[in-house]
A = this chain, B = another copy of it.
């Protein structure tokens, strides 16, 4: 099959390319390298010394891996997206090419606007280009388990049957996101549902849990490494705990640490996405997969890092810190996740196994962590309207923000004597 991966240079994108190529699929990638630029914006870099796309492609050739092609392009340009779909007619499009950090979206109003506008624009451009060029292609769109929030209910896979005032219907499970980023993914879900209704585009909507790990079956040599973010803005809590442990810092769960989320190994996420691609949704079908294996609290994660660290000679302590987020710190959490099992999905990599690899890799790249020590500990606050000073970053560049540039002078009150609008 031919699979187009948007965001192919990213944490999931590159391992997915390697995984699908290994299975004999043809992979077309697209990326604009904005994540690399944005991680630099907050003064950080990947813990793993990853190759750039030129080097990645050269390495694929040198190792005799065929079937990969790459476009550098911006998904926010409709003509770019349409051009690529016109040329390529992929069987599946796995859409990973979005801004994927909640803290990044909470830096200030410009990062909020950029995150939401760019994410929904990329998705709208893809569904419109599919309608024009390849309406039979299968769209695998990446959402997040965070769309559902943490209601005091079991969380259904996309839809649930409810009774209200004596009547019943099957309706979308309510979304209650807790960052501009998470809302942007809810927005994409709405748009993809409508595109499916309008044009019948076969759609798999993946509500992805938090991914962990540095390795997959296809990542054993250094040239294959994917990025691993550990700074406050781009790293997951688990990634930061690992890096804190390696750097001899205290592990800092936010608040009480009872916040639970669904987790999945990088390797198992690749398995899931591959199964989605190899078993595409039917014409007109819109299906939702809650893609995670186990739920852990933030405290569970910290304790597990301490435990696995001890095996590797790393001693670490847990110091609960101020919670910069607005979220319940103790809550019920039981999302359903049956749909992928029906496709043959099997959980293969436990968190404990993955943690051994992660800590081992991070020890090896110790110097890269030391060099960025200052970006690990939390400084930002979701309750603040402007976190730029806390993060020591400049206002966003033109490229990073899709909002129109601010006017040169403040708007004037149109006074009675000088009114002259339009």
Contact = CB atoms under 8 A, between A and B. Distances in A.
B84 A112 contact: no
A180 interface: yes
Contact of A153 (B120, B121, B169): B169
A217 interface: no
A223 interface: no
Nearest to A129: B109
B113 A124 contact: yes
Contacts of A53: 414, 419, 421-422
Contact of A382 (B73, B110, B198): B198
A278 B357 CA distance: 61
A154 interface: yes
Contacts of A23: none
Interface in A39-80: 52-54, 57-58, 61, 69-74, 76-80
A191 B198 contact: no
A416 B174 CA distance: 47
Interface stretch (A90-98, A243-251, A398-406): A398-406
Nearest to A187: B187
18 contacts: A54-B420, A57-B419, A73-B407, A77-B406, A77-B407, A78-B406, A79-B406, A80-B407, A84-B411, A113-B121, A124-B180, A152-B167, A153-B171, A154-B164, A167-B332, A173-B174, A183-B190, A183-B191
Interface of A: 33, 36, 52-54, 57-58, 61, 69-74, 76-80, 83-84, 87, 108-110, 112-113, 116-117, 120-121, 124-125, 128, 131-132, 151-154, 156, 160, 162-165, 167-169, 171-180, 183, 186-187, 190-191, 193-194, 197-199, 326, 332, 382-383, 385-386, 402-404, 406-407, 410-414, 416, 419-422
